[in-house]
Amino acid sequence: MELYYSVFKTAAGWISVIASDKGLIKCSLPQSDKKKALSLPGLCEDKVALLPHRFADLEKRFIEYFNGINVSFPDKPDIPVATPFQRAVWDATRLIPYGETRSYKWIAEKVGSPKAARAVGGALGKNPLPVIIPCHRVIGSDGNLTGFTGGLDVKIKLLELERASTKR
């Protein structure tokens, strides 16, 4: 399987993306410099080719997103190592509208496991496609912001960005 990547700059920082012919495999959260974005696991493999033109539309949408424009990310994931539960959690998370939040319990109910809110948190913690699979939109049932692999400060910034956005 051939893998492709790109790295590009947004208003929030540098982002890298890895994909196969089947879909997106991983992307980074914005990083302060290009070198940090290029440290995304998987980019050091010999089988990964730099092909920025393959990501032109995705790059444009990321740039618009971090400029505060409401864009969608309908891109197909290709995450072969994911469990069926993780896939279900990530699919349910993609249903959360831009600028809105839902609880871990809401996701658990959507995937048919209403008592699995903690397991939902675990699956979201392994999300390889932040922003595309908008795990930053998932909060505690009491409305508190809880866990985020990129840090709560990044989660807050993403939610604030979406709440202040304009429609495209």
Task: For residue range 31-90, list pLDDT tens digits in order.
Answer: 999 988 888 776 665 666 767 678 899 999 999 999 999 999 999 999 988 999 999 999
Same domain, 121 and 46: no
Same domain, 38 and 99: no
Which residue range forms the structural domain that includes residue 151?
84-167
Query: What is the pLDDT at residue 92?
Result: 97
Same domain, 10 and 66: yes
Mean pLDDT value across the chain: 89
This prediction's pTM: 0.90
Same domain, 157 and 92: yes
pLDDT interval class at 153 (50, 70, 90): confident
- Total length of the chain: 168
Structure tokens belonging to residue 75:
């891109």
Q: Is 135 a catalytic residue?
A: yes
Same domain, 161 and 138: yes
Q: Is the pLDDT of residue 13 over 90?
A: yes
Three-state SS annotation for the chain: CCEEEEEEEECCEEEEEEEECCCEEEECCCECCHHHHCCCCCCCCCCEEECHHHHHHHHHHHHHHHCCEECCCCCCECCCCCCHHHHHHHHHHCCCCCCCCEEHHHHHHHCCCCCCHHHHHHHHCCCCCECCECHHHEECCCCCCCCCCCCHHHHHHHHHHHHCCEEC
Cα separation of the two ends of the chain:
35
Whether residue 17 is contained in a domain is answered as yes
Please name every residue paired with 166 in a beta bridge, in sequence order, or none if there are none.
69
Q: Given 70, 94, 114, which residue is the final one in a domain?
A: 70
Among 88, 117, 135, 139, which one carries the catalytic annotation?
135
Contact present, 3 and 42 (Cβ < 8 Å) = yes
